[in-house]
Structure 1
């Protein structure tokens, strides 16, 4: 028996079977045409175009905090540019209906200093409510509840107000919906072996997801932007993907390609009001954090991550740090898997100032 080929065949079977037998979610129905048009949920990125909107507000950070009114203005102008609509309600109705339960996936691992800003999340919440989404049908979430607390997001599992809670210890994981892969360090596998279970927040609690990462480098994956934030915040058993030779690739891309996520994620908004070029994802190096003063909006996580990677890499070079461009392989992998556009020439980057 050819052991090597057998192992490869089993690896491919595991990946394909994990995608096929897991719960497929409710789908996005009428939103598919929109996502196709602006470059997101497509079977192949070859020859396609994607739009990324970057909105800048110079001087928005005051005493270490952003000005909430300016954040809302940035959000509004970004959504107007992305959708072509001219009212907040109409812009957000492009993606969401009053019947949706919307999960806002943040990145809270950096504490108060380097996490998704409450001001950005609050601007999203106000916009969703303007579009008719019920306040209690909005859920701020990540894997760990204690990370949410330390980033400035009080927990709420009640029947009033915006909800906020983590997969651990609150929501738990869905044993029927998982990503299965042998592209890992088997010695670091946890209780679920070669499977990474999806959060029940993803599979059962929400009908739509907004991904709101922070712009920062990552010591292992090169950068953590849309893809890395979404993938490793949605499943468990992730330490096995970090060591050499994987460095979070291809897992970051493949988890995002799983129907459980792909069919519910409708919008990506990167909080780049302050960004980090070294020491991420939870940097204590204040000298590597800078005021980028921008939000990045789009439906294509690959295109947004490609733009963000270039900005972080340029900042590293300006400060005599080595490039992380080749390290962030998961972004190109996601492009090959049809999650979006990696070719920079096919990304329409709209830059605004407000």
Structure 2
């Protein structure tokens, strides 16, 4: 065994043993039955399990530059009904969440007002969670940096009433006991925690469940930033080391999402693709590289959603004479190989609806 193999084996041991110390306190066990039911007791995909992606479109919703809340509500309800097979808002959201949950809504706010998860989308998610019985103060809108939340239009709230909203930095901090350790990085770019990236205490201690709500956009390094990239690099610190060639955020994005502290808590992915970006992401202010996709994507399979999103972004790039980003976005196929979802397009059940 060479030096690298030794450290990788040690990394896997450390990150799983560190998780074991707190796993029972996070309510992971209580969700195992629900998760098993969601993908079928025989581990086969159910109506809303692995490989299924729902896309709901409302033409003209962005014609005035801002979506109408009533239309977003119709899109959200239709997406959840189609995904779960339920007929009421409460039943649809209860498929994934219980009144005892503390639910973290992981948004993508790095693009400011123009290219971040939209407040109108988050408002409807909050309404769904409340319909399922989740209390206001047990809902936390979060990302890595508080100032990104503010610039994207999400006022901070750390109080004991209302929906909470805050970042890992400077508020929640990182958990020194639970981390992702990797040598697949640029050694020169490691920060204070060396080969370790600590998980946010929001993930490890504050929430029992997560809704991941990324934006559809390209990424100059990782190809695209959709479900996997948004979740992984928003949940840990010391991420700069994974960006340079030859890594391009792979395999880190996939491995962080495969870590039990993430994998066992993420119950739903909803991609805000009302407005999307094909060049200059993740924080582009170039309005000419943005377009109105006018869709929301729903699923429990982040790999399948990202595979579909990658094709949509790449097609838009080709239409505008930009090179493909498939060769950069290899973290998606890596996640598929790690069992996080379905990468093969031919086996993805992609349902497109209009409302």
More deviation, 143-152/22-31: 22-31
Structure 1: distance between partners of 2:133 and 2:141: 17
1:281 aligns with 2:278: no
1:272 is aligned to 273
How much has 1:43 moved relative to structure 2? 11
Structure 2: distance between partners of 1:35 and 1:288: 38
1:172 aligns with 2:173: yes
Structure 1: distance between partners of 2:59 and 2:289: 19
Q: How does 1:47-58 map to 2 (within 5 A)?
A: 50-58=51-59
1:6 aligns with 2:3: yes
Task: Tell me how large the CA RMSD over aligned residues is.
Answer: 1.7
2:36 is aligned to 33
2:90 is aligned to 89
Indicate conservation of the 8 Å contact 2:50/2:300, yes or no: no
Indicate conservation of the 8 Å contact 2:4/2:183, yes or no: no
- TM-score, normalised with respect to structure 1: 0.95
1:195 is aligned to 196
The aligned length equals 346
Residue 133 of structure 1 aligns to a residue whose secondary structure is coil
Task: Name stretches of at least 5 consecutive residues in structure 2 with no aligned partner.
Answer: none
- TM-score, normalised with respect to structure 2: 0.94
Q: How does 1:1-354 map to 2 (within 5 A)?
A: 5-22=2-19, 23-24=22-23, 25-27=26-28, 28-37=31-40, 50-354=51-355
Residue 176 of structure 1 aligns to a residue whose secondary structure is strand
- 1:61-104 CA deviation, whole Å, 9 max, x = no partner? 14211111100110000000000000000000000001111000
More deviation, 49-58/296-305: 49-58
More deviation, 61-70/191-200: 61-70
Structure 2: distance between partners of 1:331 and 1:12: 23
Structure 1: distance between partners of 2:41 and 2:63: 34
Indicate conservation of the 8 Å contact 2:50/2:301, yes or no: no
Indicate conservation of the 8 Å contact 1:43/1:339, yes or no: no
CA distance 1:240–1:290, change in 2 (3 Å):
same
Structure 1: distance between partners of 2:247 and 2:214: 22
Structure 2: distance between partners of 1:62 and 1:34: 40
How much has 1:50 moved relative to structure 2? 1.4
CA distance 1:270–1:49, change in 2 (3 Å):
closer
Task: Name stretches of at least 5 consecutive residues in structure 1 with no aligned partner.
Answer: none
Indicate conservation of the 8 Å contact 2:276/2:292, yes or no: yes
Indicate conservation of the 8 Å contact 1:198/1:235, yes or no: yes
How much has 1:327 moved relative to structure 2? 1.0
More deviation, 5-14/327-336: 5-14
- 1:86-136 CA deviation, whole Å, 9 max, x = no partner? 000000000000111100000000000000000000000011111111011
Moved over 4 A (4+): none
- 1:2-43 CA deviation, whole Å, 9 max, x = no partner? 7xx22223223323432343343431222222342399xx79
Structure possessing the higher relative contact order (Cα contacts under 8 Å, 6 or more residues apart): 1
